[in-house]
Structure 1
Amino acid sequence: MPMERLSTDALASFAVFAAHLNFTRAAEDLHISQPALHTKIRKLADDLGRPLYRRQGRALALTPDGERVARFARELDDRMSTFLSDLNGTSRTRVPVLAAGEGAYLYLLGPAVRRLHAATGVRLVNGDRSRVLTAVRSGAADVGVAVLDVLPADLTATPLATFPQVLSMPAVHPLASRPTLTLADLAGTSLIVPPPHGPHRASLERALRAADVPWTVAVEASGWPLILHLVTLGAGLAVVNGCVPAPPGLVHREITDLPPVPYHTLHHPDRTPDPTVTTLLTTLHAP
């Protein structure tokens, strides 16, 4: 494909779309209509000769080629901004971007985020593990933090923290008198769990099935704060990450035969020498 056919405007628009994975929000950010954005991205995909995104149920996801194109578009925009700053004799400081899930922000990354805001500033991206991986792969985030049981081959993953899985229950519950628990102790319990297909729900169901432990779903709820609130209301018990503090009236007991929860920092290997990435990683891994 002749390079003159590759529109830098379309690349910039695709980078915005890749950050949102939503045509409505991306078009609003770009101050153009949705049909106009659809046209730009369709023409970019046609010029490159490959699909840049796909539909997963009701959501959109970047293809591997789409992630590469989005990363290239952002790198091109950074280089252009740096060139123009140098040309005009002005300094340019890019704010680092960190992507992580709700639990990581609530219970793990608070001190690091405060330090980053005080030092350089930081822009935060919130999403589940899939969105964090996409943000790092596409360049929408410089560094991500996620729970990983399988390390991605295309990203650099560094262990950050590991926590046990614990059973959250009222302090008056019979199991609360034990210092630790096993999966067998959960037999017959009614558990508050995330919706199906999420990684925590899937791994918990797999472990309970392998241990031949009968259990029932009390409530399906999203997010540790809501799940723990429902435990305080007596709706059921819950298996949560050990980094989550127990609210008043609840206690947590480690389930010794469940695997620990490993948090990792993630960045693209091409970005290893980048000072922005180095600053984020140093701050996140600081004691």
Structure 2
Amino acid sequence: MDLTAFAVFAAHLNFTRAAEELHISQPALHVKIRKLSESLGRPLYRREGRRLVLTADGEAVARFARGQDERLASFLAEFAGAPAQRPVVLAAGQGAYLYLLGDAIRTALASTPLRLINCDHRQMLAAVRGGQAHVGVSVLDVLPPDLSVRELASFPQMLFVPSGHRLARRRSIRLRDLDGESLVVPPQHRPQRVMLEQALRTAGAAWTVAVEAEGWPLITHFVALGAGLAVVNGCVPVPRGLAGIPVKDLPPVTYHVVHQPSAISDPRVVSLLSLLG
């Protein structure tokens, strides 16, 4: 069925992997998606550089297809007299999983099948919009108008420094205090890196890159090794041997929970949302 094929394609956004999962050839999958697009009169995906992305119509079709698949699975399970085992799907990033969502996930797993997707905020929004995930958690600079959004938790941004550093005994700092320092930072073009570079430029602080690292655990590890200082989200625990100092002229980091407005009709999703607080 073309809808089922499109749901699999939307999950991968890759014709090779989707065709392998469906056990059909790539040309056959191209034909199915082209026919579905022609029957609807709308393009369902587009190419951005080397990536394929769903259009807004494609996200709507993928969401409908996955919802139809869930409803069919629930009906067949109920018809057979067995409880439905379709999992609730949560999409979030590494930081949220490590420092924010552990208790809620542990509690949810005790009573509900739960599948976890590890992704960045753009992938999370695409997963929720396309129906690949029921609930998403991330830091969002712009709140999506098409999804239900609520604040989950807010944290100050902190400077991590070795305990013997000149700034370690300060109760708070400003970005100009980092003039001349070497910093451990995320790779270029990551949202936190872009924000930090702009803020340091505005503050007139000259700095150098000590190390580029992906993820708070590795960034923190490099600070503990003495490679440089780092600005991190306040949800990250301060390791032994380091000091965590609030950065006064950076805005707090706010995590949000997002879901489709219709998701609250599913008791499993409502239960997960209640556990998230």
Normalised by the length of structure 1, the TM-score is 0.90
Query: What SS does the aligned partner of 2:189 have?
Result: coil
Deviation string, structure 1 residues 74-119 (Cα, Å, up to 9, x no partner): 1111222233334434432421110000110011111111111111
Task: Choose which of 192, 207, 218 in structure 1 pairs with 2:184.
Answer: 192
Distance 1:84 1:183 in 2: 59
Q: Which residue of 1 aligns with 2:194?
A: 202
Query: What SS does the aligned partner of 2:265 have?
Result: coil
Matched, 1:221 2:221: no
Task: Choose which of 140, 151, 160 in structure 2 pairs with 1:168.
Answer: 160
Structure 2 gap ranges (5+): none
Contact 1:267 1:277 in 2 (8 A): no
Query: What SS does the aligned partner of 2:110 have?
Result: helix
Contact 2:140 2:254 in 1 (8 A): yes
Task: Choose which of 44, 53, 69 in structure 2 pairs with 1:52.
Answer: 44
Distance 2:274 2:12 in 1: 27
Q: Which residue of 1 aligns with 2:171?
A: 179
Matched, 1:212 2:193: no
Q: Which residue of 2 aligns with 1:74?
A: 66
Distance 1:23 1:234 in 2: 45
What is the RMSD computed on CA atoms of the aligned residues? 1.7
Q: Which residue of 1 aligns with 2:238?
A: 246
Query: What SS does the aligned partner of 2:153 have?
Result: strand
Distance 1:94 1:208 in 2: 47
Task: Choose which of 246, 255, 258 in structure 1 pairs with 2:250.
Answer: 258
Distance 2:31 2:94 in 1: 34
Normalised by the length of structure 2, the TM-score is 0.93
User: How far does residue 273 in structure 1 lie from its aligned partner after superposition?
Assistant: 2.5
Matched, 1:130 2:137: no
User: How far does residue 284 in structure 1 lie from its aligned partner after superposition?
Assistant: 1.1
User: How far does residue 151 in structure 1 lie from its aligned partner after superposition?
Assistant: 1.1
Query: What SS does the aligned partner of 2:192 have?
Result: helix
User: How far does residue 177 in structure 1 lie from its aligned partner after superposition?
Assistant: 1.5
Alignment of 1:79-90 (within 5 A): 79-90=71-82
Matched, 1:35 2:35: no
Q: Which residue of 1 aligns with 2:103?
A: 111
Distance 2:249 2:205 in 1: 13
State the one-letter code of the partner of 1:110: G
Deviates more, 1:179-188 or 1:96-105: 179-188
Contact 2:85 2:113 in 1 (8 A): no
Query: What SS does the aligned partner of 2:167 have?
Result: helix
Structure 1 gap ranges (5+): 1-8
Count residues with an aligned counterpart. 277
Distance 1:249 1:57 in 2: 44
User: How far does residue 63 in structure 1 lie from its aligned partner after superposition?
Assistant: 1.3
State the one-letter code of the partner of 1:210: T
Contact 2:112 2:268 in 1 (8 A): no
